[in-house]
């Protein structure tokens, strides 16, 4: 359905669309929304610095019942209610800084045509995008391109207070890295992320949790059970210690500040609970409702046992059209891998694509049995791998504005082994990415026309399949040796990148396999596999470098894994010229000469990465990552950056969320919910701060 073309404005002009505009006045704040036709949908919203802001649609919304729409709405509101938790987790001064910058942005009445004001606007948008003052991907502190004196002037003219360390840190070199995973430093002490008190060290963390988990396995009772502090301990089902707390020192003693109602972040958590209670009341089935109930109980108590009980129930609740992710989950932002970042993703099942991709779940055991892993490292019974393509209806926390494209949860190895896992591919997010870019950069970095044509014809399918194989088969594959601890304990700072690389490798191994065609997933398995291998090597060895500043090491876990996988197979295949480094007209290209041999190399590395994980071999993972995944060829990096200068498209993308607007009757009952869109990025960010700012500036 199309609507008349109008111009929507809020602080800045935005593009003309086929849409209808509505403005909501809430306690003095103007929230401007647009209703956009799905025909010729404008995915691109704006671009600044190294960032693109995109939109996404919610396919199938109209096909949901009102009850299902209510469930989605309540879950989205629950997720957004915890938004400020992520800001505070990222850095202790983030909320104070954001509040000051937003107050300046809305109240300043001076000259907005100056270069410094424009630099201020860009800085604020970058801070919004990253949920704080550190870059969402590089972890480096974002440097403003305006002066301290100018900020002081803005503060004075808007009657805004920002002083002391919170002001100084914007401009100085303190807390320069949100997450510092460099070798040879105290990773906890040198990371600005707000999971630990200012004087807590890596050694403190390791000793604290070693003491918590220390039991005497030689002293079981008559039934064979081990107890600690009168509580039964199942050493085969370890709790996720540290996942939902901040570790601080008080009077020299280490203590956890637990995230829960009445505890740390309690003000926001109470709001999350309120919306989850409403969601539970409209659950699609008993299993889903019971799982939501356990999540509520977890938020109320902070009990890690309840967290495990919830994850077991959530994993088993596979029926229904709606699902969600909500809580403190991924540990990438913790330099030592204990603490989960807050995130929320609300999902609607994509019925057509889920049916097509369910075949991977049904054949998970075949993939495990036929993988090149050492036999003792293979799972004898891959259980409960659930895979769906879903459409996102709303995201928050660590999933927004920058979002994943696929998720596999829960993270606990024992739950994966005994109960299974859920894997999802975020179909409408991938669709938005694919329809918001251009082919110019691809043409610049492909080796020849054949590589370009393969990517154009099969690249999107190859990416979808790799995501599916990574999440469904990769993360579900393999097992730890008896007695080997969790990877965050054995592999430490390298655990995340090893796990992501291992899942990538299993996906790569099977992307060049006729089994995919036998299963009906592709029409030409060799062509799809070649496109997948070309793209992975091109990105891992070259094009992902556009995201780094010249001279920087690779630090982000996924970037590291793509580089160490690609660099390892490149080096090991030199004798057979598997991957050829080509220089033509002063430009570098990587050309794959033998795809079958490259698959063998991927298999060898997969076998080794699983061995490292299964045995907890810290020395081996350190050598693998440091030798292949961290350092960058500076000459090649400079060349890539130079070649990339011709392209205006920013290297990073993120999203504004659709806005679900309920309509009510005189009794206050919801009678309909329609999908609207934010008129601008800044409008959504200011709206979120206004509606979901439940936390104090200091926590």
What tens digit of pLDDT does each residue of 123-163 get? 999 999 999 999 999 999 999 999 999 999 999 999 999 99
What are the structure tokens assigned to 695, written together? 């936390």
Within 394-477, residue ranges assigned H as helices are: 413-418, 427-434, 440-445, 449-468
Average pLDDT on 110-133 reads 98
Q: What per-residue confidence (pLDDT) applies to 11?
A: 28
Output the pLDDT for position 125: 98
Sign for the pseudo-dihedral over CA of 266, 271, 275, 277: positive
Rg (CA), the chain: 25
Q: Stretch 1-30: mean pLDDT, rounded?
A: 39
Q: How many contiguous H segments (helices) and E segments (strands) does the chain have?
A: 25, 21
pTM: 0.82
Mean pLDDT throughout 342-350? 96
Cα 469 off chain centre by: 18
Query: Cα separation of 121 and 113, whole Å?
Result: 11
Per residue in 638-651, is it b (16+ CB within 10 Å) or e — as a string?
A: ebbeebbeeeeeeb
8 A C-beta contact, residue 18 and residue 36: yes
CA distances from 419 to 286, 315, 316, 475 (A): 18, 7, 7, 14
Give the mean pLDDT of 659-674. 96
* Per-residue DSSP letter, 282: T
pLDDT tens digits, residue range 9-20? Answer: 222 223 333 445
pLDDT over 90 percentage in the chain: 82
pLDDT at 281: 98
Angle at 482 between CA 480 and CA 485, to 5 degrees: 60
C-alpha distances out from residue 98 to 147, 343, 476, Å: 17, 19, 39
Q: Is the dihedral of CA 282, 284, 286, 290 positive or negative?
A: negative
The predicted pLDDT at position 211 comes to 87
Mean pLDDT of 231-245: 83
Residue partners of 670: CB distance under 8 A and separation at least 6:
66, 70, 73, 662, 663, 664
Average pLDDT score over residue span 510-526: 96
pLDDT at 26 over 50: no
Grade residue 216 by pLDDT with cuts at 50, 70 and 90: very low
pLDDT at 3 over 50: no
pLDDT average, residue stretch 192-217: 87
Q: Is the pLDDT of residue 219 over 50?
A: no
- Report domain extents, the chain: 92-168, 350-652
**Residue 214: is its pLDDT beyond 70?**
no
Per cent of the chain over pLDDT 70 is 93
For 425-457, the pLDDT digits (tens) are: 899 998 898 887 666 889 999 999 999 999 999
pLDDT tens for residues 385-416? 778 889 999 999 999 999 999 898 999 999 98
What pLDDT, on the 0 to 100 scale, is given for residue 233? Answer: 58
Sequence-distant (6+) residues with CB within 8 A of 282 are: 67, 68, 70, 71, 74
Average pLDDT (335-358) is 89
Residue 6 has pLDDT above 70, yes or no: no
pLDDT range class, residue 516, cuts 50, 70, 90: very high
What's the pLDDT at 10? 28
pLDDT of residue 5: 25
* Whole-number average pLDDT of the chain: 91
In 3D space, the residue among 239, 257, 202, 338 whose CA is nearest the CA of residue 88 turns out to be 257
pLDDT of residue 22: 54
* 28 pLDDT tier (thresholds 50, 70, 90): low
Q: What is the mean pLDDT of residues 305-315?
A: 97
Closest CA to 35 of 673, 670, 596, 697: 673
Average pLDDT over every residue of 73-99? 98
């Amino acid at each position: 359905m199309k609507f008349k073309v109008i111009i929507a404005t809020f602080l800045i002009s935005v593009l003309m669309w086929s849409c209808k505009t509505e403005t909501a006045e809430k306690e003095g704040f103007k929230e401007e929304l647009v209703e956009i036709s799905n025909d010729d949908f404008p995915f691109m919203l704006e671009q600044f610095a190294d960032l693109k802001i995109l939109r996404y649609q919610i396919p199938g919304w109209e096909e949901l019942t009102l009850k299902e729409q209510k469930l989605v709405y309540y879950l989205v509101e629950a997720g957004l209610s915890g938004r400020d938790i992520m800001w505070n987790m990222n850095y202790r001064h983030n909320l104070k800084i954001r509040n000051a910058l937003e107050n300046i942005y809305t109240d300043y009445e001076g000259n907005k045509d100056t270069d410094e004001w424009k630099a201020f606007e860009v800085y604020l948008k970058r801070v919004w995008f990253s949920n704080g003052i550190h870059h969402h991907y590089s972890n480096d502190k974002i440097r403003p391109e305006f002066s301290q004196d100018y900020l002081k002037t803005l503060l004075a003219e808007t009657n805004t207070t920002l002083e002391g360390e919170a002001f100084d840190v914007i401009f100085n070199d303190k807390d320069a890295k949100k997450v510092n995973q460099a070798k040879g430093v105290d990773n906890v002490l040198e990371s600005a992320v707000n999971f630990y008190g200012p004087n807590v060290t890596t050694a403190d963390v390791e000793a604290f949790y070693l003491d918590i988990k220390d039991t005497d396995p030689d002293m079981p009772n008559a039934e064979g059970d081990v107890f600690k502090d009168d509580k039964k301990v199942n050493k085969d089902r370890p709790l996720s210690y540290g996942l939902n707390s901040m570790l601080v020192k008080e009077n020299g003693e280490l203590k956890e500040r637990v995230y829960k109602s009445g505890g740390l972040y309690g003000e926001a958590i109470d709001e999350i609970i309120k919306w989850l209670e409403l969601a539970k009341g409209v659950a699609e089935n008993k299993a889903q409702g019971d799982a939501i109930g356990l999540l509520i109980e977890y938020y109320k108590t902070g009990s890690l046992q309840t967290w495990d009980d919830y994850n077991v129930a959530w994993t088993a609740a596979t029926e229904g059209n709606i699902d969600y992710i909500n809580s403190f989950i991924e540990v990438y932002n913790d330099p030592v891998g204990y603490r989960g970042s807050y995130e929320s993703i609300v999902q609607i099942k994509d019925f057509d694509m889920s049916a097509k991709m369910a075949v991977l779940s049904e054949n998970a055991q075949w993939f495990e049995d036929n993988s090149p892993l050492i036999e003792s490292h293979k799972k004898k019974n891959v259980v409960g791998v659930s895979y769906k393509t879903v459409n996102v209806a709303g995201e928050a926390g660590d999933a927004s504005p920058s979002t994943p494209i696929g998720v596999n949860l829960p993270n606990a190895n024992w739950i994966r082994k005994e109960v299974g896992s859920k894997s999802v591919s975020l179909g409408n997010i991938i669709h938005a990415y694919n329809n918001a870019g251009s082919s110019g950069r691809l043409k610049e970095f492909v080796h020849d026309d054949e590589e370009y044509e393969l990517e154009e014809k099969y690249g999107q399918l190859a990416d979808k399949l790799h995501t599916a194989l990574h999440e469904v088969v990769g993360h579900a594959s393999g097992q730890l040796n008896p007695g080997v601890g969790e990877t965050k304990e054995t592999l430490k700072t390298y655990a995340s990148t090893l796990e992501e690389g291992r899942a990538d490798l299993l996906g790569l191994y099977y992307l060049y396999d006729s089994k995919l065609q036998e299963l009906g997933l592709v029409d030409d398995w060799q062509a799809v596999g070649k496109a997948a291998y070309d793209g992975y090597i091109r990105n891992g060895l070259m094009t992902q470098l556009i995201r780094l500043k010249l001279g920087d090491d690779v630090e982000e876990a996924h970037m590291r894994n793509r580089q160490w996988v690609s660099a390892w197979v490149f080096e090991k295949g030199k004798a057979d010229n598997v991957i050829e480094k080509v220089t033509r007209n002063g430009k570098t290209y990587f050309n794959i000469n033998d795809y079958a041999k490259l698959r063998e190399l991927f298999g060898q590395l997969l076998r080794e990465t699983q061995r490292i994980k299964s045995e907890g071999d810290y020395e081996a993972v350190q050598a693998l990552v440091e030798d292949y995944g961290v350092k960058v060829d500076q000459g090649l990096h400079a060349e890539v950056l130079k070649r990339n200068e011709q392209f205006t498209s920013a290297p990073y993308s993120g999203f504004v969320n659709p806005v679900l607007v309920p309509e009510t009757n005189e009794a206050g009952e919801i009678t309909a919910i329609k999908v609207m869109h934010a008129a601008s990025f800044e409008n959504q960010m200011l709206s979120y701060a206004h509606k979901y700012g439940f936390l104090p500036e200091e926590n």
